[in-house]
Homo-oligomer: A and B are copies of this chain.
Amino acid sequence: MPDTTRSTDRLPGTRYGNRPTMKDVAARAGVGLKTVSRVVNGEPGVTPDTERRVQEAIDALGFRRNDSARVLRKGRTASIGLVLEDLADPFYGPLSRAVEEVARAHGALLINGSSAEDPEREQELALALCARRVDGLVVIPAGDDHRYLEPEIRAGVATVFVDRPAGRIDADVVLSDNFGGARDGVAHLIAHGHRRIGFIGDMPRIHTAAERLRGYRAAMEDAGIPVEDAWMSLGQTNPERVRRAAEEMLAGPEPVTAIFTGNNRVTVTVIRVLAEHSRRVALVGFDDFELADLLQPGVTVVAQDAAALGRTAAERLFRQLDGGLVAPERIELPTRLITRGSGELPPAD
């Protein structure tokens, strides 16, 4: 079999494609195995001269400690797992980054995976991470039954859920105030004179979607406005569906004069639909997004702080690992209404 690896000088004491071990380093430096370990880990009790010899051998061989073996021995991996829905979604980028920063501050690496909103894949991923013995797990749930994590939690895997609560187990969870945020957003529209307000959101089996819907209903009820079925669209949020839903609400003899959208994907689609209409329709969206201020009009949104969600969750996770926590807790972060124009348009009937 031809050797396809890039050829350089073959290293003494090591077979090709195999890495040098501490044993090799020890042999080359003429010291014992444990002495190498001490140097590599910066432990005390090695004379400068010995240390230098060991260091030279390390450099010469290109030795790098094998963390797998280390983990096996020490029990902790200094890595945490993040299971999220889709890394490509602009909402999760900052969240993931925030988790990473906290992990880094604790000397840990981040392993992450996308569940693609598929409960089975979520489970598969989470358990794969557990098999790798991550110290902790941050999960953005796709499914609604997380009992599969019970043995892991019992075995000491710190676990925090983010964005949506865990299903059927008692665990830490960090959420946005979806209900309050939606209620405020809809109340904002009502305050600007709207009564026929549409709501386009995700399937109510998703916790955040259900909460935002509840906020919409609460605001309407507070204002004494009976909600008509035709004003609500709850389901898949692919562009075609959302587009149809928006167009239906805007058609007919009594069209809605404002729309509240349940997440940023929906918001963007609705903006596209509204851009095609001549009549001015007010809009408030849940989730902020880049360039919302540059559109005409600027888009009023209920913003949640993705980075804060991630940071809070990760910090809580490391507090679990430090042994400082007892009972699982539910932490709710406030949302912020950002007015930019689209939510302040008056009703145009």
Q: Which residues of A contact B (CB under 8 A)?
A: 4-6, 8, 11, 17-19, 62, 64-69, 71-72, 77, 79, 86-90, 92-94, 96-97, 100, 104, 109-114, 127-133, 150-156, 170, 268, 271-272, 275, 289-291, 294-296, 307, 323-326, 328
Instruction: Tell me whether A62 and B154 are in contact (CB under 8 A).
Output: yes
B114–A112 CB distance below 8 A: no
Copies in the complex: 2
Q: Say yes or no: A132 contacts B109, CB within 8 Å.
A: yes
Select which of B4, B130, B268, B307 is within 8 A of A325 by beta carbon. B4
| Residue contact A97 to B90, C-beta cutoff 8 Å | no
Top 7 A-B pairs, shortest CB-CB distance = A62-B151, A88-B97, A88-B94, A68-B71, A87-B97, A88-B93, A67-B131
Least Cβ–Cβ distance between A74 and chain B, in angstroms: 10
- Among the listed B90, B109, B328, which residue makes an inter-chain contact with A290, where contact means beta carbons less than 8 Å apart? B90
Q: How far is the CA of A112 from the CA of B104 in the complex (A)?
A: 12
Chain B residues with CB under 8 Å of A93's CB are 87-90, 92-93
A242 to chain B, nearest CB (A): 15
Q: Which chain B residue lies CB-closest to A275?
A: B294
Using A17-B155, A154-B6, A170-B6 as known contacts, say yes or no to A131 and B88 having CB atoms under 8 A apart: no
Q: Establish whether residues A133 and B68, one from each chain, have CB atoms under 8 Å apart when the complex forms.
A: yes
Known contacts A68-B132, A93-B93, A97-B88: does B156 contact A17 (CB below 8 Å)? Answer: yes
Residues of B close to A68: CB separation below 8 A: 68-69, 71-72, 77, 132-133
Report B-chain residues with C-beta under 8 Å of the C-beta of A92. Answer: 93
Q: How far is the CA of A296 from the CA of B296 in the complex (A)?
A: 8
Enumerate 17 A-B pairs (CB-CB under 8 Å) in ascending A order: A4-B325, A5-B154, A5-B156, A6-B170, A8-B154, A19-B155, A62-B152, A64-B152, A64-B155, A67-B132, A88-B96, A97-B114, A109-B111, A110-B113, A111-B112, A268-B294, A289-B290
